[in-house]
Structure 1
Amino acid sequence: MTIKCVLFDFSGTLFRVESTGSWLRAVLAEAEVTLTEAELTRSAAELEAVGALPGGAVPVRPLPAELAEVWRRRDESAAAHRAAFTGASRQVSLPDPALHEALYDRHMRPAAWRPYPDAAEVLAALRERGIAVGVVSNIGWDLRPVFRAHGLDPYVGAYVLSYEHGIQKPDVRLFAAACEALGTEPGSTLMVGDDRRSDAGAAALGCAVHFVDHLPVASRPDGLRPVLDLIG
């Protein structure tokens, strides 16, 4: 197979969101709310357990039944995404109820995200080789400002975001939309992601698929470089 296009997932693939503790600490500081270190640590652990940070840990504590459906379809619209994650956050008691919305807003800021160390290098190398690049993400908000703020936007030819299409991976229509936007065929496209279920949906369309590990930025310095070997 000759690869002419590479599609990337966003969270856990090209970028990693800040830790739950850093996320909570930033919002508390901005709101001028003070917690003891023990209280902050406990609240961060509880938020992580319910999966309240988008792009962070998956829930390990069961969510209420009334959240189940909106959680399942959370990436199909901006409203569902906000409702799902603020609903999860509200399972944790915080000093001010307004903090739940503030936490959601914080995760959409470029400062909450860091690119993996080799992301710019790999994207630049693909561009030099004439390989089309797209981003296909299950998400409920516009991630383009994150790419612009971190200098990666010039390498991306198309963004295909679930909430803008009303469908989410592994639905093949999302990958098909990306191929169409970039003028490429699935048979010459490689999908790179960290989710063995969602990103694997590209294979049903005929794309090759390569997985990376969803690790902290410091723990994965060169996880994207093998993509360059795959395209030859």
Structure 2
Amino acid sequence: MTIRGVLFDFSGTLLRIEPALNWLRVGLERVGVEVPPDELRRLAAELERAGALPGGSEPEEIPPELRGLWDARDIDAAGHRRLYVTLSRRVELPGPPELHEVLYDRHMEPTAWRPYPDTGPVLARLRERGVPVAVVSNIGWDLRPLFAAHGLLEWVDAFALSFEHGVQKPDPPLFAWACRELGVAPQQTLMVGDNATADGGATALGCTVHLVRHLPADERPGDLLPVLDLVG
């Protein structure tokens, strides 16, 4: 069946979060703390192991008392913040206690994210072809300002964000809502993402799924380009 609309995941598909080393460096600068380079690298690695950077590595171990928050982390904004600040606090960082809140705020800033090289060109080409696009993301905050800052907002017709709907991928309702917003039947819709479990949930509605690799932006120049061949 011909593809008439495209759903895109956000993190690891269209844009990539900055490395934990840069994230921590910015946070420390904002609270006026300097650490030697070796210590900066050590602390960044500990934060990565703790899974404290949203959009970065998942925790090596999720404490039992945080399992509930982890499983529902993208359903509401307050829970998202509480989880990731708590994960950050598992790492002893220099400076004031508010550093953990500063780090969480940093990850929502447009400059903390980098579009993949083919993101803009693919979205622009889909708009030229008259193919509607939605972003379907498990997320705890509003992505629209970030897309606007990167010049991508004009090419997105709808945002299906988990925290706004109280449901997260792979549950079908989030994909179904996005398809309705685009006015396209699921059977004529392509879901593009980097997670076979979460994004693969769209197949329950009859969507076609195309997976890309979750890599740093400069290591993945063209995984989105096949989308243009899949769309009629």
TM over 0.5: yes
For 1:196 and 1:92, the matched residues in 2 are separated by 30
Q: Which residue of 2 aligns with 1:46?
A: 46
Q: Return the offset for 1:143.
A: 0.8
Partner SS state of residue 130, structure 2: coil
Per the alignment, in what secondary structure is the counterpart of residue 74 of structure 1? coil
- 1:204-215 matched pairs, under 5 angstroms: 204-215=204-215
TM-score (norm 1): 0.98
3-state SS of paired residue (1:136) = strand
Q: CA deviation at 1:64?
A: 1.9
Equivalent residue number for residue 80 of structure 1: 79
Equivalent residue, structure 2, for 1:112:
112
Report the Cα distance in structure 1 between the residues aligned to 2:177 and 2:198, rounded to whole angstroms: 15
Q: Distance in 1 between matches of 2:21 and 2:54?
A: 13
Distance 1:157 1:11 in 2: 18
Q: For 1:2-60, what per-residue CA distance to the aligned partner results, in whole angstroms no more than 9, with x for missing partners?
A: 11100000000000000000000011112111111121111100000011100011112
Three-state SS of the structure 2 residue aligned to 1:59 is: coil
Deviations 1:61-92, CA, capped at 9 Å, x for gaps? x1321111101110000011111111111110
Question: 4+ residue stretches of structure 1 with deviation over 2 A?
Answer: none
Counterparts of 1:180-191 in structure 2, within 5 Å, are 180-191=180-191
Q: Distance in 2 between matches of 1:184 and 1:226?
A: 20
CA distance in 1, matches of 2:228, 2:62: 40
The yes-or-no answer on 1:161 pairing with 2:161 is yes
Aligned pairs, how many?
231
The two structures, once aligned, show a CA RMSD in angstroms of 0.7
Give the match for residue 37 of structure 1.
37
Gaps of 5+ in 2: none
Letter of the structure 1 residue corresponding to residue 204 of structure 2: A
Opposite residue 168 of structure 1, the aligned amino acid is Q
Tell me which residue corresponds to 1:64.
63
Query: How far apart are the structure 1 equivalents of 2:98 and 2:33?
Result: 11
Q: Distance in 1 between matches of 2:63 and 2:122?
A: 41
